[in-house]
Chain A
Amino acid sequence: MNYVPHTEEDRAEMLKAIGVKSIDDLFIDISPALRPKSFDIPEGKSEFEVCRYIKKLASKNATDLISFLGAGFYDHYIPAAVDALASRSEFYTAYTPYQPESSQGWLQSIYEYQTAICELLGLDVSNASLYDGGTALYEAAMMAIRLTGRKKIIVDQGVNLIYRTMLYTYTSNLSIEFVETPVVHGQSSREAILKHLDGNTAAVILQNPNFFGAIDDYTDIASKVHEVGALAIQSVYPISMGILKTPGEMGFDIATGEGQSLGLPLSFGGPYLGFIAAKKELVRQMPGRIVGATVDKDGKRGYVLTLQTREQHIRREKATSNICSNEALCALRAVIYLSLIGKTGLKEMAELIYSKTEFAKSVLEKIPGVTVKRSSPTFNEFTICLPKNADDVAHKMVEKGFAAGFPLGRFYKGMENYLLVAVTEKRTREEILKLGDSLEAVLCD
């Protein structure tokens, strides 16, 4: 089975038309010396057999844990309409909309996505999506390097370590200097940032809420950053934008983030959705595809891929990025998700998550030996200090049916007893109370 529809007669006719005797004649350029040394692939199976096998693999994964594990990737409810619409094959079996007249559905959807992202972040322009939150942050950093012609970037340690590691990996062959500034009592150290901020600085990168869940108003930092001619970049959690101050309101130049929470399943790490938005004067340094509105010959509104001279297929080695594919289908899920939730719903959802998170704090801090870090306000995630190694505790909590959180010792030296706890709208009062009971029991063991 290979989905090839040709019958023997078809094949014979086609070969005859080509003027060759056999299929082998079509591969004459590949001489015997170039043929595979081995091609030891198992023979094919039926659809039923493959499905049975893969379902068996699926059943080996734990999916019944009550999850308070987040760290930038969250277990939100996805309305059924998101799946129903995004699984229309007129969407998912199309390619990049190179021919606008036969791709208006895709192009308009992306234009709507770009609008929604701009609205969420309070900025002027968005692209058609990037691979994930980490690559989006890297692209933002590179925009700043190109725009300023400078080579130094200040990164706050409240930025997800995964993204910081990605930034360093991507730039390891370039001469870019990164300076990390510490988080003090949950918040960015203004003092450290100002100490390093100078005329060589291309950008300062911050995250809100930061990796520890703390929220902040970075308006003061953005204005200092602008005083030296650098750019302010912020990575954000999109659901928080239902209530939290936007990067735009804080005066930031570029905002990025992981869009997984906007209607995408966790799916063991992908596909996810990187979003990026910026002030409009930076648009010509944006990476990737951008959709624009225009008119057709009759003056009717329509959409096209635009500002393509930035891109690799035209500029080649001078392009703003090497990006060709983006995550269009994930961007479509995001705009459908946001449309369903709506302006009112997003605010309510953000408030509900905030309330549940505060409730979880109040439950967990009643456990003897547990301290909730309260030095700064938080949104959906918070840090607790345990009397024991958090990794061990999290391990024992799995036996009780919980993914209790992310042990911070994995990413931060000296925080081996700290656990990062995430709450989404899916977590009920009962589950939160049970989390408290189970944690207390585990700590008493």
Chain B
Amino acid sequence: MHIPDDLLYTKEHEWVRIKDKTATLGITDYAQGSLGDITFVELPKVNGAVAQFKQYATVESVKAASDVYASVSGKVLKINEELSAHPELINQSPYDKGYFAVIEVSDESDVSRLVSSADYKKYVEGLH
């Protein structure tokens, strides 16, 4: 299980990479593994608003549909257009090519409610 050190996480298995005031969002290796082959992703609209820990996307495998929650609040700057034609990128490259969206962070204190890589790692290990 790959859990990069330089990212922050949620207990719903989302990751976020924060750089200045922008955040890149996605789902973790653990999440993609338990969902199985991802067949479809519904992403938010560019310029739309997302709220921390509220649903902003949906990810589907053949026999399941799961809500994905935003790690931080803010405005959607960009979505990963590649995913509509190639949802498998989430399985193949969850932390890079399989990112979901880039958000302009509206409240920097959101970060304090996220989990470090070490804590997320412990959390995932505890699930088994």
Contacts of B12-65 to chain A: CB distance below 8 A: 39-40, 60-65
* A308 closest partner in B (C-beta): B63
Number of chain A residues whose Cβ lies closer than 8 Å to a Cβ of chain B: 6
Residues on B with C-beta less than 8 A from A314 are 63-65
* B42 closest partner in A (C-beta): A284
Least Cβ–Cβ distance between B56 and chain A, in angstroms = 15
Q: Does A426 have its Cβ within 8 Å of any Cβ on chain B?
A: no
B61-79 vs A: 1/0 string, CB under 8 Å? 1111100000000000000
A305-318 vs B: 1/0 string, CB under 8 Å? 00011000011001
**A309 CA to B65 CA, complexed, in Å:** 6
Residues on B with C-beta less than 8 A from A315 are 65
**A353 CA to B39 CA, complexed, in Å:** 46
Residues on A with C-beta less than 8 A from B63 are 308-309, 314
**A318 CA to B65 CA, complexed, in Å:** 10
Contacts of A295-341 to chain B: CB distance below 8 A: 308-309, 314-315, 318
Residues on A with C-beta less than 8 A from B62 are 308-309
* A319 closest partner in B (C-beta): B65
Least Cβ–Cβ distance between B29 and chain A, in angstroms = 22
**A318 CA to B64 CA, complexed, in Å:** 12
Residues on B with C-beta less than 8 A from A309 are 39-40, 60-65
Least Cβ–Cβ distance between A55 and chain B, in angstroms = 47
Residues on B with C-beta less than 8 A from A284 are 40
Least Cβ–Cβ distance between B2 and chain A, in angstroms = 26
* B62 closest partner in A (C-beta): A308
Least Cβ–Cβ distance between A289 and chain B, in angstroms = 14
**A314 CA to B64 CA, complexed, in Å:** 6
Contacts of B72-128 to chain A: CB distance below 8 A: none
Least Cβ–Cβ distance between B111 and chain A, in angstroms = 31
A93-127 vs B: 1/0 string, CB under 8 Å? 00000000000000000000000000000000000
Q: Specify which of B40, B62, B65 lies most central, judged by the most chain A CB atoms within 10 Å of its CB.
A: B65
Least Cβ–Cβ distance between B60 and chain A, in angstroms = 4
Least Cβ–Cβ distance between B45 and chain A, in angstroms = 11
**A318 CA to B60 CA, complexed, in Å:** 13
Least Cβ–Cβ distance between A367 and chain B, in angstroms = 61
Residues on B with C-beta less than 8 A from A308 are 62-63
* B66 closest partner in A (C-beta): A309
**A315 CA to B65 CA, complexed, in Å:** 7
Residues on A with C-beta less than 8 A from B39 are 309
Least Cβ–Cβ distance between B34 and chain A, in angstroms = 16
Contacts of A254-310 to chain B: CB distance below 8 A: 284, 308-309
* B61 closest partner in A (C-beta): A309
* B65 closest partner in A (C-beta): A309
A-B contact pairs, 16 of them (CB 8 A): A284-B40, A308-B62, A308-B63, A309-B39, A309-B40, A309-B60, A309-B61, A309-B62, A309-B63, A309-B64, A309-B65, A314-B63, A314-B64, A314-B65, A315-B65, A318-B65
Q: Which residues of A contact B (CB under 8 A)?
A: 284, 308-309, 314-315, 318
Q: Which residues of B contact A (CB under 8 A)?
A: 39-40, 60-65
Q: Which 5 A-B pairs have the closest CB atoms?
A: A309-B65, A309-B60, A315-B65, A314-B65, A314-B63
- Extra inter-chain contacts (13) besides given A309-B63, A309-B65, CB under 8 Å: A284-B40, A308-B62, A308-B63, A309-B39, A309-B40, A309-B60, A309-B61, A309-B62, A309-B64, A314-B63, A314-B64, A315-B65, A318-B65
